[in-house]
């Protein structure tokens, strides 16, 4: 059921920045990039603000009526980070207390992008997040469905990177399988996952 879902717009961006920041507060990559818990909420809001600015115009960002979760997709051929998008993402780490970590974090992000499969054309799940109080109720699965249905109808694969090993089984239930483990510099492991379109 996706009756409570909608395609997000620019007007939703402030709410979704807060939602995604709350969803990723304990994420291994977020804690690696921003070890200081006091800095993390603002850093995550800035990071997801930049990501939403990049993905909203592409038209594959879905949320629910309460703005309790969001799925940010890039359509085929649009997954690469542009120079402008990279600069906007870098502003998330503008606080001087982050500066010492910027080289390491940048290497990790570039490494993940370098290992992103260039072909065949595919949808890329850039982020999926649900606020802690809304987790465990099926919202994450519902947020995936609009694009996964397109993938199956149009015979298009999908790709993502899971930053939590505990989420692998969740994505596996939706047809994804681990294809690579990516070790971030002095940081956690990220799991690259690929999904072939499902047949009826």
pLDDT tens, position by position, 76-108: 999 988 888 888 887 887 777 777 777 888 888
User: Do you know the residue count of the chain?
Assistant: 200
Give how far Cα 61 sits from Cα of 32, 44, 76, 101, 126, Å: 26, 18, 14, 30, 10
Domains and CATH numbers, the chain: 5-166+184-195 (3.40.630.30)
Give the CA angle between residues 70, 170, 161 to the nearest 5°. 65
Rounded to two decimals, the pTM is 0.92
Could you read off the pLDDT of 17-59 as tens digits, one per residue?
Answer: 999 999 999 999 999 999 999 999 999 999 999 999 999 999 8
């Amino acid at each position: 059921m996706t009756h409570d879902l909608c395609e997000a717009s620019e007007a939703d961006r402030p709410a979704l920045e807060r939602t995604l920041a709350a969803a990723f507060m304990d994420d291994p990559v977020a804690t690696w990039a921003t070890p200081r818990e006091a800095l993390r909420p603002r850093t995550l809001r800035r990071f997801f603000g930049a990501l939403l600015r990049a993905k909203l115009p592409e038209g594959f960002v879905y949320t629910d009526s309460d703005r309790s979760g969001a799925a940010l997709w890039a359509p085929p051929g649009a997954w690469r980070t542009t120079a402008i998008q990279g600069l906007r993402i870098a502003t998330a780490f503008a606080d001087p207390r982050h500066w010492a970590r910027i080289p390491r974090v940048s290497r990790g992000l570039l490494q993940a992008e370098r290992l992103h499969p260039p072909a065949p054309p595919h949808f890329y799940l850039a982020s999926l997040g649900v606020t802690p109080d809304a987790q465990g109720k099926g919202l994450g699965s519902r947020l995936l469905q609009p694009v996964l249905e397109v993938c199956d109808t149009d015979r298009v694969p999908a790709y993502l990177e899971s930053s939590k090993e505990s989420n692998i089984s969740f994505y596996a239930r939706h047809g994804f399988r681990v294809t690579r483990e990516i070790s971030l510099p002095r940081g956690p492991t990220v799991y690259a996952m690929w999904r072939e379109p499902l047949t009826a």
